[in-house]
Amino acid sequence: MPYTVTWETEQNHEVLALRGGGHEMRIVPSLGANWYSWKMDGTQLFAPWDLSWRGTKYGVPVLFPTPNRVPDGRYRWQGKTYTQFKNGEPRVIHGLVYDEPFTVIRTADGDDGCEAVLELRFSQGELFASFPFPCILRLTYRLDARGPRLAYRVESTADAAVPFGFAIHPYFAKMDPPEETFIRVPAPYVHEANADKIPSGRVLPVEGTYYDLREFRSTADAVLDHVYQGMTEGMRAELEWRRSGITLSLTASAEFDHIVVFTPTDRPCICLENQTCSTDAHNRHADGFVETAHLLAVEPGEAHEGWIAIEARRI
């Protein structure tokens, strides 16, 4: 088969390896279904990683149901306040699932692609106590001629709506110096936020400001950790390593109208993070900033689906 999925062992973890078309994806189900390694023709596109790191500092952590920051881990929905905990402590950033074990539902090889399907159920324990909305989160990682793709599905399994945000947090490698690494994000707006990066609910036009990334800029001239809004289906967020001669782009389904741009100077990574919502989306929604929070809700017995595709090629 040109495209295959195999079980392998790495650092005492069972991992899934998807291979074909010059790509290799590696996913660790027991650690949040993190897609932690991606090689294209033998070149590693992700920042250095170690499976002993149980947080969100490597690979592609999945952020659900509260992407990014939530002050004190407290969020509001329909007049009630909830607190999310993990290991007995408030979870204040990046949601609840990035360190949860996912169940592998199936894998499939094929001549035109391969895929692995994993799921996580919110039905009991600390996970459910922190997000008491019965639901199933299902992830499908696929590799085919287009490259890697992640599809997600959130299904309500009870008589209550499920309010959520979904995001990924890929840590791409710093393969080249900042002045030879370029990004472009065509979003027309950036979120106003305080010093703790909690948004006010207002968005500001990027035109004529430091935050304008609608044309390619080097990361030497764009040091950011900001939430952008106004992405539409088909818009490409792009990253170019011009010395290495590699270009990468992210596209996503229509609900991903937010994207976080994180270009730290003191870490070996660059992050372009597709999000369906703003930071602190439940609370911003409760405060009346419905459009800029862009919180999603699945009605009882229904499901919501979406996707993110990441393409890379040599230039």
Q: What confidence score (pLDDT) does residue 24 get?
A: 98
Q: What confidence score (pLDDT) does residue 1 get?
A: 67
Count the Cβ atoms, other than its own, within 10 Å of residue 203. 22
pLDDT at 143 over 90: yes
pLDDT at 238 over 80: yes
Token pair 């919502």 in the structure block, residue: 277
279: containing domain? 4-314
Mean pLDDT (the chain, rounded) = 97
Phi, psi of 291, rounded to the nearest 5 degrees? -70, -45
Q: Considering its fold, how many domains does the chain have in total?
A: 1
pLDDT at 55 over 90: no
Reported confidence tier of residue 242, pLDDT bands at 50, 70, 90: very high
pTM above 0.95, yes or no: yes
Q: What number is the average pLDDT over the span 78-106? A: 96
pLDDT at 215 over 80: yes
CATH of the domain at 309: 2.70.98.10
What are the C-alpha distances in Å from 16 to residues 4, 5, 27, 140, 172? 10, 7, 5, 12, 20
Q: CB within 8 A of 114, min separation 6: which ones?
A: 1, 3, 4, 5, 18, 19, 20, 107, 108, 142, 143, 144
How far apart CA 36 and CA 306 sit, in angstroms, is 21
Q: What confidence score (pLDDT) does residue 54 get?
A: 75
Joined tokens for residue 193: 């936020």
Write the pLDDT tens digit of every residue in 264-297.
Answer: 999 999 999 999 999 999 999 999 999 999 999 9
> Nearest-CA neighbor of 199 among 310, 289, 85?
289
